[in-house]
Amino acid sequence: MIDTLVHMLGYSFAQNALLAGILVAVVAGLVSRFVVARNMSFAVHALAEVGFTGSTGFILIGLSPVLGLLSGSMLTALFIGTLGLRVRERDAVVGVVMAFGLGLGVLFITLYARYATAVAILFGAITTVSRGDLMLLAGVAVVTLVGLGVMYRPLTFATVDPIVAEARGVPVRLISVLFLVILAAAVAEAVQVVGVLLILTLLITPGATAERLTAQPGLATVASISIALLATVGGILLALVTTVPVSFYVTTIAFVCYLAARLGGPAVERLRGVRAE
């Protein structure tokens, strides 16, 4: 099995996949912390699904599906960001935009009539990532990470303590829109690994698991990134030596991590003597 792995890693598609996986995991792990803390699972879902529409649309007119995905999710982020600033509105706006976006997606697939491509976008196809795609992914990753680095503190403040953050002069609304845009980029990245339908495994599970492990924000971020890396890299390596798709392994590893944290978390707390109530 090790021999097979070494052999497979000699191929450039495998190297591309691993590099792409690492990029995606770092971005997804970091973003995931805030997605969970800001209760944005539904928004992630919508960004991914309208991203799907974007990529089918771009394929139809002969452009890069990755770019289409990015455009679709960005456009959705701006829609949600400008129309649904209040939490109360947000879910409804997300739902409305997502439904329409998916409707367009149906149209594009019908016009194009090549379901294999659609399936790749829906379930992920990291082993088909080209050098060009990799460069695009790296570019998006850098922009995303720099963006998050710049707004890390005010984003944290606005996330855990929005009222005081606003009073202290944090531009809470601007941060909210900026985060959606970054989230859209992260979604477009993560879709490359796990696909539109399984996106939550990289953008929710790592953050949700990290929350169970530590109450220290910095550590939680490191844990979230580590879990995303473990699931992605582990998933790709396992898929290389078996015939089961990457997405299955990634989702399974992430889920096992979450279960372990749920079951092990209380035990850790008891060891540390943290009060239960």
Partner 1 sequence: MSANGRTRHRGAAVASRTPEPAMCFDRATLAYGDRVVWSELSMTVPQGEFLAVLGPNGSGKTSLLRALLGLAPLASGSLDVLGRPPQRGNPDIGYVPQHAGFDRDVPLRGRDLVALGIDGHRWGFGRLSRADRDRVQSALEDVAAGPYADAPIGRLSGGEQQRLRIAQALVGNPRLLLCDEPLASLDMRYQQEITELIGGWSRDKGGTVVFVTHDVNPVLGFADRVVFVVNGRWAAGGTDEVLTSETMSGLYDAPVEVLRVKGRIVVVGEGSGAGFDIDEPHHFPEPAGAHQ
Instruction: List residues binding partner 1 (CB under 8 A).
Output: 33, 37, 149-154, 156-157, 160-161, 163-170, 210-212, 214-217, 220, 274-277
CB of 70 to partner 1, least distance (A): 25
Give whichever of 1 and 163 is closer to partner 1, judged by the CB atom: 163
Least Å distance, CB 169 to partner 1, is: 2
Task: Please give the angle made by the CA atoms of 21, 121 and 73, to the nearest 5 degrees.
Answer: 85
Phi, psi of 228 (to 5 degrees): -60, -40
- The nearer residue to partner 1, 108 or 157, going by C-beta atoms, is 157
The answer to whether 69 and 136 have CB atoms below 8 angstroms apart is no
Do residues 178 and 82 make contact, with C-beta atoms less than 8 angstroms apart? Answer: no
User: How far apart (Å, rounded) are the C-alpha atoms in residues 175 and 182?
Assistant: 10
Shortest separation between residue 198's beta carbon and partner 1, angstroms = 24
Q: Which residue, 62 or 272, is less far from partner 1 as judged by CB? A: 272
Eight-state DSSP code of residue 62: T
**DSSP class of residue 275?**
-
The distance of closest approach from Cβ of residue 210 to partner 1 in the complex, given in angstroms and rounded to an integer, is 7
Residue 251: name the closest of 164, 168, 178, 190 by CA: 190
> In the complex, what is the shortest distance from the CB of residue 87 to partner 1, in angstroms, rounded to a whole number?
13
If the CB atoms of residues 135 and 219 are measured against partner 1, the closer one turns out to be 219
Residue 18 or 158: the one with the smaller Cβ distance to partner 1 is 158
